[in-house]
Chain A
């Protein structure tokens, strides 16, 4: 019986990290999803090669907390992106916006379409 209790205690310890997962208690599931989306799309200003979700730098944790607070206060995603851009510059926004540079998105698409067209006409011609 005593052994069983010890085993139970060990299992209990293993479950602790799961309980620790929810650091942002004042946010509901929907807001947590938004927090995740925002932190995935904002670059860590210190380490600069990852987003603030993937970074362990203190500034990333602070920023994530700040974003969580802002979500709690009712800020929209765009407002938070703007706030971060205003403070750290466009560099920290990882989200891509087609309207900023349309050629960049359209040309690969055009190349794809043209090559499909060329390949199909070529194969049709050869099969005849």
Chain B
């Protein structure tokens, strides 16, 4: 009997046993943000309407895998896609976009990773859907058609 109570109390936890996504939180960036060309970006442009934020880097192989899908999404749908260039050299990032095409309206330059860290990013790639400043959908990992249909398509 005791063994059964013990094992029941073991499984009793209702917490999700993975990393929590950032869904339901407000998008907060306290630092000044710049794009890859060094232009300053008003934070307001991220909190107005529907914005798809994609964390990417030129060193990230999974980002390269999801890149064609992101391009096809921006071509076929009315999506405002903004990149966050995570822990990357400016030169490498530019090269990457020249070579593979640039689906992003612009990319936020985050060399130190500080902006992303405070957003709750654990690595690249990650994708946030922000509607009027609130994160409604967050994918940790690659976005493909299946994930898109499940997590993001209902909002478009």
Main secondary structure of the interface of A (DSSP, over half): helix
Q: A92 near B: Cβ within 8 Å?
A: yes
B78 → A minimal CB distance (Å)? 31
Q: Which residues of B contact A16 (CB under 8 A)?
A: none
Q: Which residues of B contact A48 (CB under 8 A)?
A: 18-19
**Contact (A101, B20) CB under 8 Å given A45-B122, A46-B122:** no
Instruction: Name B17's closest neighbour in chain A (CB-CB).
Output: A91
Stretch at the interface among A1-9, A17-25, A59-67, A73-81: A59-67
Q: Which residues of B contact A91 (CB under 8 A)?
A: 15-20
Q: Which residues of B contact A101 (CB under 8 A)?
A: 9, 12-13
B40 → A minimal CB distance (Å)? 24
A83 → B minimal CB distance (Å)? 10
**Contact (A103, B5) CB under 8 Å given A46-B122, A62-B117:** yes
The range of chain B's interface size is 20 to 34
**Contact (A59, B117) CB under 8 Å given A104-B6, A107-B5:** yes
For chain A, residues 26 to 82, give those with C-beta under 8 angstroms from any C-beta of chain B: 45-46, 48, 57-59, 62-63, 66
What is the CA–CA distance of A48 and B22 in the complex, to the nearest angstrom?
17
A29 → B minimal CB distance (Å)? 27
Q: B68 near A: Cβ within 8 Å?
A: no
What is the CA–CA distance of A92 and B13 in the complex, to the nearest angstrom?
15
What is the CA–CA distance of A84 and B19 in the complex, to the nearest angstrom?
11
**Contact (A103, B9) CB under 8 Å given A45-B19, A89-B15, A90-B15:** yes
17 A-B contacts, Cβ less than 8 Å apart?
A46-B123, A48-B18, A58-B87, A58-B123, A59-B122, A62-B113, A62-B117, A66-B117, A87-B20, A87-B120, A88-B19, A88-B122, A89-B16, A91-B20, A103-B5, A107-B5, A110-B2
Using CB atoms and an 8 Å cutoff, list the residues of chain A in contact with chain B: 45-46, 48, 57-59, 62-63, 66, 87-92, 101, 103-104, 107-108, 110-111
